[in-house]
Amino acid sequence: MPVKKEAAEMSAFERRRMENMAANKAILTDISVTAKKIIPEKKPVAKSSAPKRKRETVKREPARPTRMSSRLAGLEADTDDLKQKLAADIEKDAAEARPKRLRISSDLQLGDVAVEGKKYGSGVDGLKGLVRGAEPGVRTFTEEDVKETTDEGLKSLRQKMGSLKLYEHWLPNEIKITPQRVYALGFHPTEEKPIVFAGDKEGAMGIFDGSQTAPEGDDDDEEAGAANPVISAFKTHARTITSFVFSSADVNAVFSSSYDSSIRKMDLEKETSIQIFAPSDDSEDLPISALDMATSEPNILYFSTLDGGVGRYDIRAPGSDEIWTLAEQKIGGFSLHPLQPHLLATASLDRTMKIWDLRKIVGKSDLRHPSLLGEHESRLSVSHASWSAGGQIATSSYDDTIKIYDFGDAGSWKPGQDISPSAMEPAHQIRHNNQTGRWVTILKPQWQKRPQDGIQKFAIANMNRFVDVFASDGSQLAQLDGEGITAVPAVAHFHPTLDWVAGGNGSGKLCLWT
């Protein structure tokens, strides 16, 4: 009679792996249940009646010359040309320093791409002394500024925003939301609790549930005191994740874009990640720098590219993508007007902010593009152009300014209507240190999309390790700080409706104010 063997005891590594998988599954299930409680408004969905178009070949610029030293190029130290060259080199390195063909095209089960705990928990804090001009901990907006405010409405708003508190259960250094530097953040629109998504420079996605509390224990219980927050982390892209977009029609859908030339859709309920878009030619490299979606058209995705293009893609019709060349250099950020989604604003390395009208497409063949309504040129490259629901556009630029343009009458514009040069001038300019260098993610203003209090405001990181909050008239409302912030929370975002702010830093750590 054969001897019955007893099952081998599970190793510590295998036990930890199973615990990680169970924790990830529990978090996704909880987020999915929470998301279902959101009752989305019924939005008209645009019907696509246009026939499928064969993708047109985009003309490529000739190869750029080999880079040389600033001295040999004839650029003196600290000149505008040198700063422009540095900005271009930073973006070129980010996009070109990796293999051309590197993309995850297959469907993924999130449990199979979860990042393991020990490898995920490593990393260094802060990047001291690497950025010239930053003064860590030195405030540029203080309590005295609030006290001296004479306008009672503004003073009340400043007191309200200044009262936001840093998440208390763990210090920012203990909330490692991604393995590497944070490049993109997104708040899930649920108002039940703060749920933050983050993407890093190597394609990992982290999810943090802000309702977690630290385990209680005795003062002598070192194990309880050392417990880390539960974070789900998944390797969904092969290169830098650049944007998150949340569907207005499906609370479980989270879209992400990447320098690996793809857009993927995560389903929180099914616990899957599928590729929605990528170039039809597997060898083609089309790094995607930003992603957006109109609330009224939840099946249409818009994206920008590092070679100056903006694309439109209907997820219901594979092969329906069309890409317009709108700039000679990288478009680093763009956005759709939240209430007039036919209006698109782009920010480019060519120093311009431009406004386009999607209702009027001009040109033929690969020269087709939306009608250009107006543009404004800055002294140095423009990093991002963000529309508010009130019609303002906020931009950040390497000329160390935040510019706010006021287009409150945009709803009355006719298709293709030109905007006068005077109307394209910024209504407000704010001095702001935007010199991030190579080791801090580029600073970009992000508006609160649907503020409950009706006050248009945006968040942007401060190189002195704060997050600044500004109103649409350029007034500073707050400078968020807290104990344990050891690096610049460079990627800053508002929750769509509530006064919650998140910031991600260069070592993958998260700051959360509520």
Which residue do the tokens 């857009």 mark?
A: 263
Residue 91's pLDDT band, with cuts at 50, 70 and 90, is low
Give me 363's structure tokens.
């040109």
CB atoms within 10 A of CB 91: 20
Written as one letter, the residue type at 297 is: E
Reported as a pLDDT band with limits 50, 70 and 90, residue 13 is low
Mean pLDDT of 21-30: 75
> Sheet holding 300-305: strands in order across?
288-293, 300-305, 309-314, 322-325
Q: What is the pLDDT of residue 6?
A: 52
How far, in Å, CA of 58 to CA of 63, rounded?
15
Q: What is the pLDDT of residues 457-477, one digit of tens each?
A: 999 999 999 999 999 999 999
Cα separation values, 30 from 208, 371, 509, 514, Å? 12, 45, 22, 20
Q: Are 407 and 424 a contacting pair, CB within 8 Å?
A: no
Sign for the pseudo-dihedral over CA of 291, 293, 298, 301? negative
Residue 334, exposed/middle/buried by CB under 10 A (0-12, 13-18, 19+)? buried
Distance (Å, whole) CA 311 – CA 328? 15
Q: pLDDT digits over 387-403, tens only?
A: 999 999 999 999 999 99
- What's the CA gap between 387 and 270, in Å, rounded? 33
172-226 pLDDT per residue, tens: 999 999 999 999 999 999 999 999 999 999 999 999 999 998 877 544 444 444 5
**What distance lies between CA 447 and its chain's CA centroid?**
12
Q: How does DSSP classify residue 196?
A: E
The predicted structure's pLDDT at residue 56 = 46
Instruction: Let me know if 147 is exposed, middle or buried by CB neighbors in 10 A (0-12, 13-18, 19+).
Output: exposed
Give the count of alpha carbons within 13 A of 122, CB side only. 4
Which of the four pLDDT bands, split at 50, 70 and 90, describes residue 87?
low
Q: Which residues contact 302 (CB under 8 A, 6 or more apart)?
A: 291, 292, 293, 294, 310, 311, 312, 313, 334, 336, 344
Report the pLDDT averaged over residues 240-250.
95
